[in-house]
Structure 1
Amino acid sequence: MRTTDLVGTALANTMRSKLRTFLTVIAIVIGAFTLTLTTGLGAGINKYVDNMVEGFGAPDEMTVTKQADMGSGFSMGGAPSEYDPEGASSGEMFGMPLLTGKDLETIRDAEHVTAVETARLVEPEFIEGADGRQWAVPFMGASYEIGTLSMAAGREPAEDAAEITVPTDWVEALGGTEPEDVLGQTVTLVAADPLGEQSGMEAEVVGVTEAVASGSGVGPVPSRAVEDRLHEIQTAGLPEEQRDTYFSATVTVEGMPENEAAVQAALAEQGYSAQTLEDQLGVIRGIIDAVTWVLNGFALIALLAASFGIINTLLMAVQERTREIGLMKALGMTGGRIFGLFTLEAVMIGLLGSLIGIGLGVAVGLTANALLTQGALSGVTGLVLYAVEPLSLLLIALLILAIAFLAGTLPAARAARKDPIEALRYE
């Protein structure tokens, strides 16, 4: 019997007992469906994380912060430590040390570091439009977002100019109907000093931004000049050591990733912590992957149960077709061909189950993703709940076929070992 005839015969034999085959296929469909859904869910969430951080840094950049001194009164709880005026530091916020100008010089001098950038965190009281109306600023962007903004109209602010961009949500408030309508408009940004005294500065609207998943562009984004001026207003009257501080610095490193470990070690010796974007995402990705693997485990249990269904189905088929097996052997069909015939039947069952299960999983995943991201979760920019990865789908199909083949080997071996004379006598 030729291989093509063997495949055709195997397919026909699987349809002999349609109900039994159908029930076995359904068990495989459940496992394949679950595996496809959970794998796509993990891929989708990871893709959303990538979208979230795509504007937060380049591969050759690190985020540097000052290491907290755990021995100088820093505590997350427990009994208080005695106050030491000599060890007290004004360069802290929420108990965490801040970077100073001197720290930036030290970081800049580190080997392989080619650039150091910082940004002030400013929070205007309000922004006044050209018509005199005043608008609260629930979220103010920062100059470090320049270069990652998605522009709906206009351009990004120039570093040394009194310029600003506004999000598309602000167009109507500033008296426009289209993003282009507010370009060139002069607005006044008003901030307050520590005593509550308000001061303002004018800036030109040079661009309108669209929000991206990373959060960039969801609020007004100032130029560096505007940011520095607002910072001066907000910190007026404070000691210099409190004014010239930063939460973190972004450093550019030459020769990444080869020099990554060397730069991290050198900065650690100076009391700084340096992390790449991948370092910061490691924990998040680990949690997502762990949850995905747990869910995949349930799908694999379903496939394991389905494999016993395949064994049972083929053992019953061998029993029912004993005389047929004897006749095939009497006509010259070898044990190897009979073994191949029954394992092919098992593979056919696995193929049917995997195709249906994977197809259903992809259809349900994409439909749910579209309904949720365009409906209840439409406010989450760039959200991806389910993503199709062709390689993953192929691996799932191959896994199911392998399980089906292994499950079919026991009944196939029993059929191949049958004595033709005894088989022909079987009633």
Structure 2
Amino acid sequence: MKATDLAGTALANTMRAKLRTFLTVVAIVIGAFTLTLTSGLGAGINKFVDNMVEGFGSPDQLTVMKQADPTSFAAGGAPQEYEPDEAAAGEMFGLPLLTAADLDRIRDTEHVTEVETARLVEPEYIEGEDGRQWQVPFMGSSFEIGALSLAAGREPAADAAEVTVPQDWVEALGGQAPEDVLGQTVTLVAADPLGKQDGVEAEVVGVTEPMASGSGSGPVPSGEVETRLHEIQTAGLPEAQRDTFFSASVTVADMAANEAAVKAALADEGYSAQTLEDQLGPIRGIIDAVTWVLNGFALIALLAASFGIINTLLMAVQERTREIGLMKALGMTGRKIFGLFTMEAVVIGLLGSLIGVGLGVAVGVVANQVLTEGALSGVTGLVLYAVEPLSLALIVLLIVAIAFLAGTLPAARAARKDPIEALRYE
């Protein structure tokens, strides 16, 4: 019997006991459906995380901060000795800030090719050309330049007094379309530590669309505007406090080869350095752990379904004992009979997996569209379910493999039957 004939016969045999086969396939469908949903959910959430951090760094960059003294966070205990130089440098959120001397040391580190910094500025308000003043709940950073999604215009030039505004600001600035506000001059007003206000005029050169990362959700200044606002906010402070940075973005030559060496060198100097993947690691770990737990329930369902396959085929072997004897009497080998029954198990597994995966993909895609365009439409870049063809193929192969293994026991029993005794079976 040829392989094609064997497959055709196996398909026909599975349809003999339609109800029994149907119930077995349903059990497999449940497992395949659950696996497809959970794997797609994990892929979707990971994709959303990627969208969230888009533009926050590149693979050849490290985010470098000064290491904090763990004793500074300890409650109680003996007081720490006061160091005037360290106190002058200041802290932010309890973490020490980088100074110009720190940046020089980082630049001198081997394999470091570029060090970029950005000031954290918080304008009191922005004044439009018509004199109206608008609050700035969130101010972007020049770090975002290069990762903005533009609805109109261009990104600010580093050495020019330029700024982009969010698309939501167009109407407030007197425009109907994003192009209408390009070329306007706005004034960003900041205050020094004593509350004295001063402004920086900047030209609106771009209008940004919101991104999942948050980039473009507030005005984004050029490096020139950012520096001038920082000078206003820190006027009157000691120089050591004015010339500080929360973190630095460090570009490394040949990151794959030099990452460990650069991290070690910076650690020796008292700095912590992390890649984007280092920062995302804990988040991805939690997502993957939850996905694996959910996949575990699906695998339990598939295990239960495998016992259904064994039971279905054992009953088929019992019912077709005389048929098996006749096939052997006509010259069919035990090997071919084994192949016939395992093929029947594979057919059942293939039917269940294809139906389950198809339903899982359909439900996942529809639910993702309904939720992201409905109740969760306010979450920019949200992805709840993502289709990964390779994962779907692996799910089908896994289920077919489980079905094949489940079918080996009944198939072996059929292959071992004695043809004479089988022909006498009533």
| TM-score between the two structures when normalised by the length of structure 1 | 0.97
| 1:101 maps onto 2:108 in alignment | no
> Could you tell me which amino acid in structure 1 is paired with residue 260 of structure 2?
A
| 1:85 maps onto 2:79 in alignment | no
- Give 1:256's aligned residue: 255
Q: RMSD between aligned alpha carbons? A: 1.2
1-structure distance, mates of 2:172, 2:342? 70
| Per-residue deviation, residues 64-99 of structure 1 (Å, max 9, x unmatched) | 00001124xx125x3254253337623212321110
Within a 5 Å distance, the mapping from 1:394-405 to structure 2 comes to 394-405=393-404
| 1:55 maps onto 2:52 in alignment | no
Q: 1:80 to 1:137 in 2, by over 3 A?
A: farther
Shift of 1:311: 0.2
| Per-residue deviation, residues 20-71 of structure 1 (Å, max 9, x unmatched) | 1000000000100011111111111111111222211122111100001124
2-structure distance, mates of 1:164, 1:2? 73
> Could you tell me which amino acid in structure 2 is paired with residue 59 of structure 1?
P
> Could you tell me which amino acid in structure 2 is paired with residue 318 of structure 1?
V
> Could you tell me which amino acid in structure 2 is paired with residue 89 of structure 1?
A
Within a 5 Å distance, the mapping from 1:16-415 to structure 2 comes to 16-71=16-71, 74-76=72-74, 78-86=75-83, 89-90=87-88, 91-415=90-414
Shift of 1:210: 1.0
| Per-residue deviation, residues 390-424 of structure 1 (Å, max 9, x unmatched) | 11111110110110000001001111111111111
1-structure distance, mates of 2:398, 2:380? 35
2-structure distance, mates of 1:362, 1:81? 60
2-structure distance, mates of 1:373, 1:256? 36
Q: 1:271 to 1:182 in 2, by over 3 A?
A: same
| Per-residue deviation, residues 119-138 of structure 1 (Å, max 9, x unmatched) | 00001111111111111111
> Could you tell me which amino acid in structure 1 is paired with residue 81 of structure 2?
D
Q: What runs of 5+ residues in structure 2 fail to find an aligned partner?
A: none
> Could you tell me which amino acid in structure 1 is paired with residue 41 of structure 2?
L
Q: 1:213 to 1:268 in 2, by over 3 A?
A: same
SS for the counterpart of 1:37 is helix
2-structure distance, mates of 1:51, 1:85? 44
Q: 1:417 to 1:83 in 2, by over 3 A?
A: closer
2-structure distance, mates of 1:223, 1:3? 69
Shift of 1:266: 0.8
2-structure distance, mates of 1:86, 1:168? 47
| TM-score between the two structures when normalised by the length of structure 2 | 0.97
Q: 1:367 to 1:81 in 2, by over 3 A?
A: farther
Shift of 1:144: 1.1
2-structure distance, mates of 1:424, 1:398? 37
| Per-residue deviation, residues 268-290 of structure 1 (Å, max 9, x unmatched) | 11101111111111111111111
4+ residue segments displaced more than 3 Å: none
- Give 1:2's aligned residue: 2
> Could you tell me which amino acid in structure 2 is paired with residue 159 of structure 1?
A
2-structure distance, mates of 1:44, 1:169? 27
2-structure distance, mates of 1:212, 1:86? 43
Identity percentage of aligned residues: 81
SS for the counterpart of 2:199 is strand
> Could you tell me which amino acid in structure 2 is paired with residue 206 of structure 1?
V
> Could you tell me which amino acid in structure 1 is paired with residue 31 of structure 2?
G
> Could you tell me which amino acid in structure 2 is paired with residue 417 of structure 1?
R
